[in-house]
Amino acid sequence: MQEQDNQTPVVDSDIVSSDTVNTDTPVAETATVEAKEVATTEEAAEVEATEAAASVVDAPVLEETPEPVVEPVAAEPEIERESMEFDAIIVGGGPAGLSAAIRLRQLAIAAGNDEFMVCVVEKGSEFGAHTLSGAVIEPRALNELIPDWKEKGAPLNVPATEDRFYYLNSATRSTKVPDSLIPAPMHNNGNYIVSLGNVVRWLAVQAEELEVMMFPGFPAADILYNDDGSVRGILTGDMGVAASGEAKASFEPGYELLAKYTIFAEGSRGHLGKRLISRFGLDKDSDPQHYGIGLKELWEVAPEKHEQGVVMHGLGWPLTETGSTGGWWLYFDENNQVSFGLVADLSYHNPYMSPFDEMQRLKTHPVIKNVLEGGKRISYGARALTKGGLNSLPKFTFPGGVLVGDDAGFLNPAKIKGTHTSMKSGMLAAEAIFEALQAGREHDDVVAYSTMYKESWLYQDNYESRNFSPAIHRMGLFMGGAFTFIEHNLLKGKMPFTLHDNLPDYDQLERAAHAYQPTYPKPDGKLIFDKLSSVFISNTNHAEDQPTHLKLTDPTVPISVNLPLYAEPARLYCPAGVYEVVKDAEGAKFVINAQNCVHCKTCDIKDPSQNITWVTPEGGGGPNYPNM
């Protein structure tokens, strides 16, 4: 008998599971509350916030009529589903998931067990389609996984040749930090500038050659459980479901994929990983997890401006203007291409801060502008990253499965690197699971994974950077930066105490009435761009007639709570223009343009009311990042 996360049988397998969100109120794509009905019991300051928010409402007005509220339609409970059984299933085809798959098959072949079956399901239309990173990667884990990666043609073609670090004092001034004062984790000798999407595509080929079964375009929509509560596998998403929740003529039910162990490698804020952490209480002994949003543009610049191999990082303006923290990068890749991006910590306080617009404003600074001006923007994307570090790392084993990569949070925030840590976590999980299977076990808690982790260089990597995020969050940029320099350059990561940051990111916004409203530059189509033109070059696409994959627990909250208190920050923190507050004769409305979603997960993380839940859309939907 299989228990499924969704307690109510519906054709829309993406409906929020009952163990995650209260679904007594139907989810809606458009939430409406008449402006005259919006009221709060706050003091006069909150009245001021309402007035400020009202001015926001007056600005963006949709021309077309928003879609009506739609209730999911119950399906017949006896949907027949095909099932397949494997030794191990891996959910997510990124660096962590593919490394786990490769290691499992390597171990099986070495043991003479060529019948050992491993499959990888990936929600993107192809492997690498949803992969986005800077990226400068350490090859340490890759050296262990595939020692002859150079001979096999891995796309690591540009060694890092020089590090430059800047502090931007203002919109026009900057200070270049001497090499001797750059924090040790920021040095990149021996690392490579890459397109992580292309590295993932190459890893997928290596997995295929080892006869891993690969299923791109198949999102894992739900978790299947045994009677004893252990994880038994996953349910892939149904295809051909209308926005009404009814099955279309093209309806195809999802598959039940069953395994002795399931590895969850969904990346940051994985929607199934989030459920598992809650269901098994995996984070009860951890600090709250912390996140950043990474926004990236790929540029082709003039040859005379290109310095292949140079790695530039920086802090300061414009984020300091809103009291926010984070940093930017410029990586000079091959073929005159430059990766430019910004990471904004999602612990920011100002509800008027827009990470996307901060990135656009950053390009007006001479340090950045001198490189990009006159060039051509090729692609754009955004993705959350899990950056709480060791203190926020949950227990990552549970009966029947494990968490790896950013689904757990192995990223090293001091280095701003998570590829080598994700790959190593996947490899360790594979080794622990293979050992368990060799011993004839299945569906139990693979505690050996935790033991192997603590005995590995990955744990040391995480331990040495454990204070970075809480130091920056609690002490601010200057004091936190000084603390980091002392810890890493002088004490070599061996600070005799540990800092903690116990306030979740969603709970850090100040009230809009008291917040500074930054002024952002208008798009010029050359250096500064808007969200919609940016989403266009991310090649984002979703089938239009399908249920929304952005679920509201209470459709009234955006207008009745978030708007008067926080000026509804979703319209600003979303980097793709998914959320809008619009006004018509009937009042203010909260509109979800789900087709724009680039799957960054920021809304699921930062919404101050924790009212938005991201679930998987129909398979193959979302961005299709080229060379990102």
- pLDDT tens across 108-157, in order? 999 999 999 999 999 999 999 999 999 999 999 999 999 999 999 999 99
- Pick from 527, 510, 201: which is nearest to 353 by CA? 510
CATH 3.50.50.60 domain extents, the chain: 83-148+198-218+255-287+390-464
Is the backbone peptide bond immediately before 318 cis, with ω within 30 degrees of 0?
yes
Q: Which two tokens stand for residue 481?
A: 């930066």
Known catalytic residue at 164: no
Separation between Cα atoms, residue 426 and residue 212, nearest integer Å: 15
Q: How many CB atoms lie within 10 A of CB 43?
A: 9
**Secondary structure letter of residue 562 according to DSSP:** I
Residue tagged active-site, from 574, 602, 613, 616: 574
Strand, helix or coil at 200?
Answer: helix
Residue tagged active-site, from 597, 602, 613, 616: 597
Task: For the chain, give the mean pLDDT.
Answer: 89
- What is the rounded average pLDDT of the residues 389-406? 98
Q: Which helix H or strand E contains 262, and what residues bound it?
A: strand 256-264
- Pick from 530, 514, 541, 507: which is nearest to 618 by CA? 541
Q: Which two tokens stand for residue 431?
A: 């080794």
Known catalytic residue at 286: no
Q: Which helix H or strand E contains 383, and what residues bound it?
A: strand 376-386
**The 310-316 sheet, strands edge to edge:** 174-176, 162-168, 310-316, 326-332, 337-345, 291-300, 376-386
- Pick from 448, 19, 87: which is nearest to 262 by CA? 87
Residue tagged active-site, from 269, 383, 466, 571: 383
Separation between Cα atoms, residue 464 and residue 484, nearest integer Å: 10
pTM: 0.87
Top pLDDT among 551 and 179 is at 551
Least confident of 55-69, 75-89, 166-180, 329-343: 55-69
pLDDT in tens, 312-364: 999 999 999 999 999 999 999 999 999 999 999 999 999 999 999 999 999 99
pLDDT attached to residue 43:
40
Q: Which amino acid is it at 78?
A: E
- Pick from 204, 232, 235, 200: which is nearest to 120 by CA? 204
Burial 618-627 (b: 16+ CB within 10 A, else e): bbbbbbbbbb
Residue tagged active-site, from 262, 379, 419, 422: 419
CATH superfamily, with its number, for domain 83-148+198-218+255-287+390-464: FAD/NAD(P)-binding domain (3.50.50.60)
Q: Which amino acid is it at 359?
A: M
- Pick from 603, 604, 282, 287: which is nearest to 470 by CA? 287
Sole residue written with tokens 């004062």: 181
Q: Is a pLDDT exceeding 70 seen at residue 52? A: no
**Secondary structure letter of residue 68 according to DSSP:** P
Burial 349-361 (b: 16+ CB within 10 A, else e): ebbbbbbbbbbbb
CATH code linked to domain 3-75+506-614: 3.30.70.20
Say what percent of the chain tops pLDDT 70. Answer: 87
Q: Is 3.40.50.2300 the CATH number for 158-191+291-386?
A: no
CATH 3.30.70.20 domain extents, the chain: 3-75+506-614
- Pick from 272, 263, 268, 257: which is nearest to 6 by CA? 272
pLDDT attached to residue 78:
67
Q: How far apart are the first and last CA of the chain?
A: 43
Q: Is a pLDDT exceeding 50 seen at residue 68? A: no
Q: Which two tokens stand for residue 484?
A: 């980091």
Residue tagged active-site, from 236, 269, 603, 613: 603
Q: Which two tokens stand for residue 402?
A: 């494990």
Separation between Cα atoms, residue 381 and residue 362, nearest integer Å: 16
Sole residue written with tokens 């454990």: 466
Q: Is a pLDDT exceeding 90 seen at residue 5? A: no
Asked if residues 573 and 37 have their Cβ atoms less than 8 Å apart, the reply is no
pLDDT in tens, 452-494: 999 999 999 999 988 887 877 777 776 777 777 777 777 777 7
Top pLDDT among 48 and 316 is at 316
Contacts of 529 (CB under 8 A, 6+ apart): 360, 377, 380, 523
Q: Is a pLDDT exceeding 90 seen at residue 268? A: yes
Q: Is a pLDDT exceeding 60 seen at residue 34? A: no
pLDDT attached to residue 30:
52
Is residue 80 very low, low, confident or very high in pLDDT (cuts 50, 70, 90)? confident
Q: Is a pLDDT exceeding 70 seen at residue 53? A: no
Known catalytic residue at 600: yes
Is the backbone peptide bond immediately before 247 cis, with ω within 30 degrees of 0?
no
Known catalytic residue at 603: yes
